[in-house]
Structure 1
Amino acid sequence: MRAARMMTLLLHLQVRGQASGGDLARLLEVSERTVQRDVEALLANGIPVRAVRGPAGGYRLDGGYRTRLTGVGLDEAGALAFLGLAGPARELGLGEMLEGARIKVWASLTGAARERAARSVERFHLDPYRWYGTPEPVPCLTELAEAVWRDRRVRISYVRAGEAADREVDPLGLVLAAGDWYLVALRDGRRRTYRVSRVATVEPLDGPVVRPDGFDLAEVWAQARRELEREVTAVEVTVRVEPRALPRLRRAVPVHGQPLVPLTAPAELDLTVPFENEHWACAALVGLGAAVEVLAPPEIRRRVAAELRAAADRYRDAPG
C-alpha cells in the first residue's frame, strides 16, 4: 500500500513538476505529515525530491529526474477505457485504478506529446449525464461490475411496476446511456436489458458466463436501442402548436416521429405526430398546456380537454 502511494507521489511530481504538501495529501488521501514521511523515504532511497519553502512552495524533483517505473498494471489497464469519464469510473469502483493509470500514462509522455495531451484536456470534456437531473441511485452497480469483470452468473432481484422478481442471468456488459446505467445480460439464452437502478439485490452464483462468440457490446446496445425506438405507433395525433412549444413537443414524441416536428416556425402550425399509446399522448399534450390544441382524433381531444378542465377547477378556488 505504501509503495503504491509513494509511486503515485513520485509520478505526480514528474508530471506536475511541483506540488504542495496539501495537494499531495488530498491526492493520496493521507495527512501532510504522511506525505512528508513518504518524501523522506524517497530521499533515503536516492530519489532527489526537494522541499521548496515559501507561500508558493511544495515538493519537486531535482535535476530533471525521471523514473522509468511507469508500467500500467492489469487492473489499471482495465480502467483506461474511462479516461475522461472519471465520474462513471468512480461509480464502477475504478476511480483509484483510473487515477493511477492516468498518472502513469502522463508520466510516460515527453515534450510535444505531453503538451498535445494537455491541450486536449483543456479543450475537450465528456459529460455523459443529462441536463437538470441527478443520476439514479444504483446501489448494486459495483456488484454487477464485479460479475461482469469475472464472467460470473448472478441472481438478481429486479423491481418492475412495484413488484420484485428473481432472475438468474449471465451478465455480458454495463452501458451508461444519458446518465442511466443498464445491464445487458442473457436469460435463458436470450438477450435482455435491465435498468440497474431497479436491481434490488445481486447474489453471485457458481456457474461461469459463456459469452457468445464475437459478442460486441457497443453493437448489441445499438441494436437494442434501435429495437426500442422502432416501437409500433399506436396512435397519431393532429395538433395545432405554438412555436414556443415545438422543442418540448419534439422531445415528447418517439424518435421516429421527431423529424416531423421542426424546432422553429414563424407562426403556429398544424402537425400530425405519433405516440406509443393514448395514455402517453394525453399526458404529454396536457403538459404543453395552452401552447397546443388537439384537433384529432376526437377521443384524445375530449380526454385532454377533460384533464385541463379538472386542473382549472382544482385551482379556481385556490388562495391568491
Structure 2
Amino acid sequence: MGSQGQATAQHDTTDVPSRLPRMRRPGSAETPTPAGDPASGRTNRTSRLDHLARELHAAGRQGRTSSWLAERLGVSARTVKRDVIALQQSGVPIRASSGPQGGYVIDQTGQRSLSLTPDEALAIVIGLQSVPDQPYAAAASSAAAKVLRAVATDRRADVTAVADRIWIRPGEPVPPHDDAVRTALTDAIRDHRVVLLDYAPADGPAITEQVEPLGFAHSRGVWFFLAWSRETDTGRWFQLDHVSAAQPTHETFDPRDVREIFRPGPIEDAAAED
C-alpha cells in the first residue's frame, strides 16, 4: 500500500505467509478429494437435503411426519428437524404442523421458479465446495442443495456423476474456525451494526476493539475481516481465524466505501504488502 493508503488504513499482517501456498506434487501421498465424495460430510448432507425436499415434493399436500422421514432417510427425528430448518432458510416453503399426526408439507403456492442447466449447477456446487473456509461456509450446504433442486429431476444424477469426476487437490490445511463468530460478523456486515471484537494475534497481546464491520478479503491463503476501528479511527485488517469473539451491539452506522478506505488499488494489493 502506498503512503496515501497508509495514512488511512492499517493492515494487520499477523501470520500472513511470506509466499503463496504451493500445490502438492502429483507424486504426493495425499489423495485429492472428489468434489462429490460422500465421505466429505458436506456433500453427504447436501444429498440428504435434496432427498428430503424430493420426498416432501412427492408427498404433495398430504405431507410427511418427522418419524416417517427419519426412517426413510436413516437419520434421527432431530436431524430431520435440523434439515427442515436448513431447507426453510434456503427458501423452500415448508410448513410444519404439531400434534400426533403433525408433520411437514411444502406450500406449493409459495414456491419460486428457478431453472439451471446441469453445467450451471455443477459450476456453482464445485465453487461452493472449493472454498471450505470462506466466511459464509455454514450456508454452503443448504445453498448447494437449493442449486441441485433447480436442475430438472431427470438430470440431477448427471450433475452428481460429473461432480464425482471433478477432483479438487487439497491445499494448505484449513484451520478450525468458530461458526458463531463468522455468523455474528456476516450478520453485522449486512445489518450495519457496530461490533465489540476480541482479537488474539499470534505474536502480540489480545485486544478488544469497537469496530464497524466492512467486509472480508482473501490473500495468500488467509481470510481477513475488514473493519473501521473506533479506537484508532482507521481501517484495519484482522486475520479471521484470530478473531476469538464478536458481539454485535444495538448501535448502527452508515456504510463506508471499503475501497476508498483501503486505497489505492484493489483490496488484495493491501494484503500483499508487509
**Range into which the TM-score falls when normalised by the shorter chain:** 0.3 to 0.5
Which of the two has higher C-alpha Rg? 1
Of Structure 1 and Structure 2, the greater helix share is in: 1
TM-score (norm 1): 0.41
Larger RCO of the pair (alpha carbons < 8 Å, separation 6+) = 2
